[in-house]
Structure 1
Amino acid sequence: MVHVRASELDSVFVTRALQHNLPGVNDGDLARYLNTFFVKVPKSRIDNSRQRVFTYIKRYRANEGVAFKLFVNGIIQKRFFKYSKARVDFDRAITMAEKSRNHFLLYALQTNQAFIEAAVGNSAEAMVRYRLAQKQASLLDDIDRHILLAINISDLYYKNNLFRQAVQYLDQAQAMAGARRSSNFQHENFIYFNKVEIYFRQNRLDSLRKYKDLLSKRDKKTAGIYEFKKRASYLWSIAKKHHRKAIDQINTLRSDEKYPLSDEDLIYLADTYYKAGINDSAKKTIDHVVNTSPHNDNPFLRYHLYNMLGEIDMKDGDSVEASKKFKIALANLQTYTGHMVQVANISSEMKIDQIAADFIHKEEAYKRQRLVLIFIIVVSVLLIVITIIFYRGVKQRHYYEQLLHKAKHQELAFINSHEVRRHLSNILGLVSLVKQKNITDEKEQDRIINMLDDSATSLDTAIKNISEKLDN
């Protein structure tokens, strides 16, 4: 995981990532790094850092340069709440990334568009964008992006007071993270903190304390942990009805340079002022959020804030102003309800997409298993055939060896009966002749001796012939 330093661009990472020269790093990781960097970098260094990134893009990724430049510009516009301009940049980048089929960049672009739509209260359009991002994650078969997507969708449900659906998506993200742990994302930080906020809103103190304690045990260097711990701490104070303490905690964060104060913190502050009976401060804080916040188009947020203003006016005895505030709150509640119907429809379509994607994955897995099974069967059949051939070869060899042995035996028996015994009979006959007759004729003696010598030589040759055949 690359740690983003707020003031300094990691040129080595950016250039090597653009060249596809970092093992395990893809364009999704590069987009995430650029997103985080341009959100954190001091404003005075944005233009210089942007030009450096553009130079690297031109040098190492000219074919996709425009899409990446538009992505960076969109991130910067989003940082300064210039959402209309950011939308235009992201949409143009999406068109180009679709042509190059850069699914990692498309995922980053669609999730950023979803963030913008959620920020301005357009929950239905945000779900549409998340659905498109989900399709990119499915094409990539990337579990980490599915996890982050589930966390983001959960956050969208939470901000619209749909707590049960929010918890379901967080549980899904937690299950995926547990089944296939990743070193690239700090899933647990976001999951634990989102559950802290949900259980706070549901006033479930035991669950709130459980996840607050889990956050407190997390490594101080992990992503977002400082912000999450601080907010969990003041939410716990509010839940325990220690309102004055919570007000001091939030106001302290307003001057904390390490803490990125958001409208959500100010809304919690307004709520706490109201619960503590400090209505003037509550009203002042709400007016600040309503009049200056780029999120002031969120219908549920406006409903909540105007409803609170109406309650304050009622307590102050100003029924006319209270009626106006309640009327605005009701109009925003109706708008919110209409959005939620659309969200429900899109959510159903996303579930259908997920079921279809799961079916395709299972079908592909089945095909792979089927191919493996066919391969195993073919190999097994070949082994059986080879074994049979080998066995038959050994058996035939043994058979022919027996035939050869029998032939040799017959041949030796023939030699023994016809050659050895014949020569031996000649010798025995000549010896018997010599014993019976007293041969004095030298010629006769020579003739008998020659005959004995010929028979002995022939016998010796026959015996050697037998020895050679026995050796072979």
Structure 2
Amino acid sequence: MKLSYANVFLCSMARSLKKSLFCILLIISGVSYSKADPYVYLPEDSLVHFLKIQNRDLQDKKLVNYIKLRFQQGPVNTIPQGKNEVYKELDKYDVGDKEALKYFIESIIQKRFLKLPEAETAMVKAINQASKNKADFLLYSFISHLAFIQTDKGNPIGAIYSYGLAQKQALKLNDPLLQVFLNINISDLYYKLNLYSQSLYYLNQAFHIKEENKIKDDRFYTIISYNKAENFFRTKNLDSLQRCHDDLMGPNNKSYKLFSYQYRTAYYISLLKHDYNKAITQIKNLQRDKKYVPNDVEKQNLADAFYLNGQPDSASSIANQLLALPYSDNHPEIKHHLYQLLGKIARDRGDYKLAVENFDLALKQSEESLNNTTQVGNVSAQIKIDKIETSFTDTAEKYRRERLILILISITTVFMFAVIALLYRSARQKRHYEKLLYDTKKNELAFINSHEVRKHLTNILGLVELMSESKDKKEEFLQVEKHLYDSATRLDDAIKNISEKLSD
């Protein structure tokens, strides 16, 4: 059945309206950056505009941001159509890194649907393609994303290794902003492994890089303060936690999760102060608030608060719900905590058989977590060794460059002094020869003046005097006329000679 022009027009209007609603939904849903996503922002221009950018690195940054925004945080029901649209545009403009970007899109979509093995496979393909094309920024972005997937899969060893590779890329790109993000992400991984001192170390590194490079971005201030608060809560450091909470309540904070951060650290303080009733109320109020960004940590902390407040049934119910989630299967440290909680509840009820079973399960999870931690420690140590070696190599290369520059400066300085000395000597010799020439000319002029000019002038004066004393001046003039004319001519020649020498 053929469509009328009116129907075509209406379809076109519907598509335009759909796109507009998509953008509005993104804004309403609180789209912003995450801890791990540098450069994520609401795009001011269309995909086509990004595809027309000539600078490759800038184009890659824009496209990565666009892809993350559209497929990582956009409405789920728009993903299939959006994927086809982006693929079509990448092919149309024949983007050099299009194959790598397509694998990247596929990885993000698979991760969005919690298909982590498929997401990891697609991400590895994206990395291989970017490596072939020598796309440095894409390599950094893809390796970082691979680390996120490995973290969610419960593969901390792979994640920390990937972060090490991403760190090398960030150093290669010489972008301090990327290094700050990486240190924050690494600290988050260590936090999840209960390695709190290591987590705080990387947060301090992130802050140091931010300050050293004068990165004026309040997002980092907020994220670092909150992540430190998380570590201080786990280590039961109330004073440091209170300071971080106060920092988060200050004016210099920017994050779409700020509300959740502020109220989460507030109930952390209540828990450490053993005010469990207040903590339970704070958690429930936070979960009901529309500004709240969901996080399973609330449920885990609520279960702890219920148990400590003498409400074991509520605590047991939440713990069992969390153990049923797929995410818990990938994280032995979470399951260890939950099984331990269930073991305590069973023990308190006198059900020692169930308590032993839960404690036994907690022990197995603890062993797995300890094994992961040990291997992560080994990989982390190797990464630090590599980092030190890289730093040493960079320092040696820097010293070599500085040495060459110093040698070049020394040679240039010596050459300049030699040139100046030669010029000075030449100038002195020139002045000396000019003085000799001047003196010679001066003596020559003096000689001409005294011997030529004075001689002929004296002859003329003598002849004129003879004529003035003679009685017959006419006869006398006729006799001396020839001599007078001859002396005057010679005087004229002498004066011309002096004039020529003065001109020279």
Normalised to the residue count of structure 1, the TM-score between the two structures is 0.90
Matched, 1:450 2:446: no
- The question of whether the paired residues in 2 share the 8 Å contact of 1:154 and 1:170 is answered with yes
Q: How much has 1:209 moved relative to structure 2? A: 0.9
Q: Which residue pairs with 1:465 in the alignment?
A: 497
Matched, 1:243 2:297: no
Q: Which residue pairs with 1:70 in the alignment?
A: 103
- The question of whether the paired residues in 1 share the 8 Å contact of 2:221 and 2:253 is answered with no
SS at 2:327 equivalent: coil
Of 358, 380, 394, the match for 1:361: 394
- The question of whether the paired residues in 2 share the 8 Å contact of 1:189 and 1:224 is answered with no
Kindly report which structure 2 residues correspond to 1:4-83, keeping only aligned pairs within 5 A, or say none.
5=27, 10=43, 12=45, 14-20=47-53, 25=58, 27-28=60-61, 30-83=63-116
* 1:284-333 alpha-carbon deviations (Å, 9 max, x no partner): 11111111242322111111110111111111111111111111111111
SS at 1:44 equivalent: helix
Most deviating of 90-99 and 378-387 = 378-387
Q: How much has 1:254 moved relative to structure 2? A: 3.3
Of 194, 203, 207, the match for 1:161: 194
Of 364, 385, 399, the match for 2:418: 385
Q: Which residue pairs with 2:437 in the alignment?
A: 404
Q: How much has 1:185 moved relative to structure 2? A: 8.0
Gap regions ≥5 residues in structure 1: none
Most deviating of 122-131 and 37-46 = 37-46
- The question of whether the paired residues in 2 share the 8 Å contact of 1:218 and 1:225 is answered with no
Q: Which residue pairs with 1:148 in the alignment?
A: 181
Q: Distance in 2 between matches of 1:322 and 1:375?
A: 76
Most deviating of 191-200 and 156-165 = 156-165
Of 290, 293, 306, the match for 2:339: 306
Amino acid aligned to 1:456 = A
Q: How much has 1:14 moved relative to structure 2? A: 4.1
- The question of whether the paired residues in 1 share the 8 Å contact of 2:43 and 2:66 is answered with no
Q: How much has 1:373 moved relative to structure 2? A: 2.5
- The question of whether the paired residues in 2 share the 8 Å contact of 1:208 and 1:236 is answered with yes
Q: Distance in 1 between matches of 2:473 and 2:280?
A: 154
Q: Which residue pairs with 1:203 in the alignment?
A: 236
Q: How much has 1:159 moved relative to structure 2? A: 1.4
Q: Which residue pairs with 1:130 in the alignment?
A: 163
Amino acid aligned to 1:461 = D
* 1:3-27 alpha-carbon deviations (Å, 9 max, x no partner): x746697372644444445899463
Q: 1:351 to 1:29 in 2, by over 3 A?
A: farther
Q: 1:432 to 1:32 in 2, by over 3 A?
A: closer
SS at 1:186 equivalent: helix
- The question of whether the paired residues in 2 share the 8 Å contact of 1:114 and 1:125 is answered with yes
Normalised to the residue count of structure 2, the TM-score between the two structures is 0.85
Q: How much has 1:279 moved relative to structure 2? A: 0.9
SS at 1:294 equivalent: helix
Q: Which residue pairs with 1:92 in the alignment?
A: 125
- The question of whether the paired residues in 1 share the 8 Å contact of 2:51 and 2:95 is answered with no
Amino acid aligned to 1:241 = H
Most deviating of 281-290 and 452-461 = 452-461
Q: 1:95 to 1:31 in 2, by over 3 A?
A: same
* 1:155-197 alpha-carbon deviations (Å, 9 max, x no partner): 1111121111111111111111110133578222221111001
Matched, 1:171 2:240: no
- The question of whether the paired residues in 2 share the 8 Å contact of 1:117 and 1:125 is answered with yes
Q: 1:253 to 1:55 in 2, by over 3 A?
A: farther
Amino acid aligned to 1:308 = L
* 1:311-370 alpha-carbon deviations (Å, 9 max, x no partner): 111111111111111111111111111111111110111101111221232233223323
Q: 1:401 to 1:379 in 2, by over 3 A?
A: same
Q: 1:376 to 1:185 in 2, by over 3 A?
A: farther
- The question of whether the paired residues in 2 share the 8 Å contact of 1:6 and 1:42 is answered with no
Q: Distance in 1 between matches of 2:229 and 2:185?
A: 15
- The question of whether the paired residues in 2 share the 8 Å contact of 1:121 and 1:295 is answered with no
SS at 2:96 equivalent: helix
Q: Which residue pairs with 1:193 in the alignment?
A: 226
SS at 1:381 equivalent: helix
Q: Which residue pairs with 1:182 in the alignment?
A: 215
Amino acid aligned to 1:322 = A
Q: How much has 1:437 moved relative to structure 2? A: 6.5
- Alignment RMSD: 2.8
Most deviating of 379-388 and 330-339 = 379-388
Q: Distance in 2 between matches of 1:440 and 1:235?
A: 139
- The question of whether the paired residues in 1 share the 8 Å contact of 2:218 and 2:252 is answered with no
Amino acid aligned to 2:67 = L
Q: 1:173 to 1:213 in 2, by over 3 A?
A: same
Q: Distance in 1 between matches of 2:59 and 2:438?
A: 73
- The question of whether the paired residues in 2 share the 8 Å contact of 1:200 and 1:235 is answered with yes
- Aligned-pair identity (%): 37
Amino acid aligned to 2:426 = G
